[in-house]
Amino acid sequence: MTHHHPKLLADHIIHLTDARYYAAAGVEKMVFEPLGGQTREQAIMYISALVEWVEGTEIWLRPNGLLNETDAVSLNVTGVVVPIHEILAWSNNTLRVIVEISAEGLQLQDSQEVLWNPGLSIPYEDILNTILNCSTKIWLSIDPDRADSLSILDLPAYGFVLQGTREQATGLKDYSWEEQILEHFDKD
């Protein structure tokens, strides 16, 4: 298959190191979320401070059951990423919604965009068939522990998900998996 540079979404952004890295990588969407243990007010202030450092990418929010539509609007985000079981709470809002679904749960045909991690057990062919037979835009999240993880990057998904993770120390993080993905798409 020929390599193309698909859209990239950076998910679970909780610190400035990831925000800066993914902004430099040119991701289309960056999804920020509150830190565990934060109050609603702390989360709004914290995410607002992170977002100030980011330009040139759509800002999205994972409310994580802590933040509401008013908070999301005040943060000036494009939309929210919510798990399927929370979709009803966000179905009548003014923001765009990306629905996160589990490995087995890709029966959602009426959503504009979904974030799907097929996990370790769903075969490559089933992932391909799902993408080809689904009208929904699928952001594919790849588990780095899959043996065929780099092959999956050749699938015709709408886009791929890069994951923010904890830092080893302030400002220090290993981006080797992300670098493999970015290099995979820059082979042309």
Tell me: the pLDDT tens digits for 43-86? 999 999 999 999 999 999 999 999 999 999 999 999 999 998 88
> Three-state SS for 97?
strand
Tell me: the pLDDT tens digits for 163-180? 888 778 888 888 988 999
How confident is the model at residue 103, as a pLDDT? 67
How confident is the model at residue 2, as a pLDDT? 45
What is the rounded distance in angstroms from the CA atom of residue 22 to the CA atom of residue 16? Answer: 10
Question: Is the pLDDT reported for residue 31 higher than 90?
Answer: yes
Domains for the chain: give ranges and CATH numbers: 7-185 (3.20.20.70)
Give the sign of the dihedral formed by CA 98, CA 104, CA 108, CA 112: positive
Residue 97's pLDDT band (cuts 50, 70, 90):
very high
